[in-house]
């Protein structure tokens, strides 16, 4: 069922996203598929979640806020302070109601792709990591190492991304969602980072 819709979602997203964001989206979908192959996750779900994960990314702050009010989408204080975080919430809502995705795992992968969460599912981890390592990305430090690690040990890659993200947010004094910190603590306690 999902398979036939992949092309349709791509077509729709082409109109909803700017060029750079669209290329990123396609990169996330293929990277997620490759990780799904490596770790035995559902390839179609990985691609759908990848294609739809940033569907609300190019909305203006005004439009995002309007949708949040109109549809009563719950947002946290941290999300209000850092509007970049709103797109996961609005995106998950639209994935359900506009793109008619009924699969809860896909919805959650979209919902948590920015912050992560403690005890993520395999698909959630795959989308979170694919978002960070897809080939169009170039800014983050340690990318070559994390890209390699992602195909060797998913949890180690996840932890490295979380610690680098927190470090970056702190350095740039960007409002951090407490959920990102909780996620980092959770995975750090499962397996402490080996330097």
* Contact (CB, 8 A) for 88 and 107: no
Residues between 113 and 132 with contacts to Fe ion, criterion CB under 5 A: 131
Of 42 and 131, the one with the shorter C-beta distance to Fe ion is 131
Query: Among 33-41, 49-57, 69-77, 132-140, which window interacts with Fe ion (CB under 5 A)?
Result: 49-57
Q: Which residue stretch of 32-40, 46-54, 116-124, 182-190 sits at the interface with Fe ion (rule: CB under 5 A)? A: 46-54
Rounded to an integer, what distance in angstroms lies between the CA atom of residue 127 and that of residue 106?
A: 9
Kindly state the smallest distance separating residue 178's Cβ from Fe ion, in Å: 18
Give the sign of the dihedral formed by CA 181, CA 187, CA 190, CA 195. negative
What whole-number distance in Å separates Cα of residue 48 and Cα of residue 30?
A: 10
Q: Which residues contact 146 (CB under 8 A, 6 or more apart)?
A: 132, 133, 140, 157, 160, 161, 164
> What residues between 131 and 150 interact with Fe ion by CB under 5 A?
131
Applying CB under 5 A, does 103 fall inside the site for Fe ion?
no
156: nearest Cα among 113, 125, 114: 125
* Angstrom distance (rounded) from CA 40 to CA 21: 27
- CB 174 to Fe ion: min, Å: 14
Q: Quick one: 54 or 103, whose CB is closer to Fe ion?
A: 54
User: Shortest gap between Cβ of 131 and Fe ion (angstroms)?
Assistant: 4
How many other CB atoms are there within 10 angstroms of residue 180's CB atom?
19
Q: CB of residue 191 vs Fe ion: minimum separation in angstroms?
A: 25
Assigned token pair, 2: 């999902």
54 counts as binding Fe ion under rule CB under 5 A: yes
Q: Which stretch binds Fe ion (CB under 5 A): 42-50, 54-62, 72-80, 102-110?
A: 54-62
Q: Residue 41 CB, nearest distance to Fe ion (Å)?
A: 18
Q: What's the closest the beta carbon of residue 55 comes to Fe ion, in angstroms?
A: 9
**Dihedral of the alpha carbons of 134, 107, 84, 73, in degrees to the nearest 10:** 170
Is residue 42 at the binding interface for Fe ion, with CB under 5 A as the rule?
A: no
Residue 42 or 54: which CB sits closer to Fe ion?
54
List C-alpha distances in Å: 31 to 18, 165, 195: 20, 19, 26
Which residues are at the interface with Fe ion (CB under 5 A)?
54, 131
């Amino acid at each position: 069922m999902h398979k036939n819709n992949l092309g349709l979602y791509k077509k729709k997203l082409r109109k909803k996203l700017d060029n750079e964001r669209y290329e990123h989206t396609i990169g996330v979908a293929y990277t997620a598929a490759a990780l799904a192959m490596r770790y035995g996750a559902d390839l179609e779900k990985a691609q759908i979640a990848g294609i739809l994960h940033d569907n609300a990314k190019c909305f203006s702050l005004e439009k995002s806020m309007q949708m949040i009010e109109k549809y009563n989408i719950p947002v946290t204080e941290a999300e209000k302070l850092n509007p970049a975080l709103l797109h996961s919430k609005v995106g998950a809502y639209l994935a359900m109601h506009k793109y008619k995705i009924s699969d809860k795992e896909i919805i959650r992968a979209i919902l948590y792709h920015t912050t992560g969460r403690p005890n993520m599912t395999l698909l959630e981890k795959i989308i979170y990591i694919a978002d960070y390592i897809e080939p169009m990305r170039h800014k983050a430090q340690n990318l070559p190492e994390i890209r390699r690690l992602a195909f060797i040990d998913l949890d180690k890659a996840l932890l490295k991304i979380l610690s680098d993200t927190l470090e970056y947010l702190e350095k740039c004094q960007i409002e951090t969602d407490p959920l990102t910190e909780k996620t980092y603590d959770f995975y750090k306690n499962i397996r402490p980072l080996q330097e």
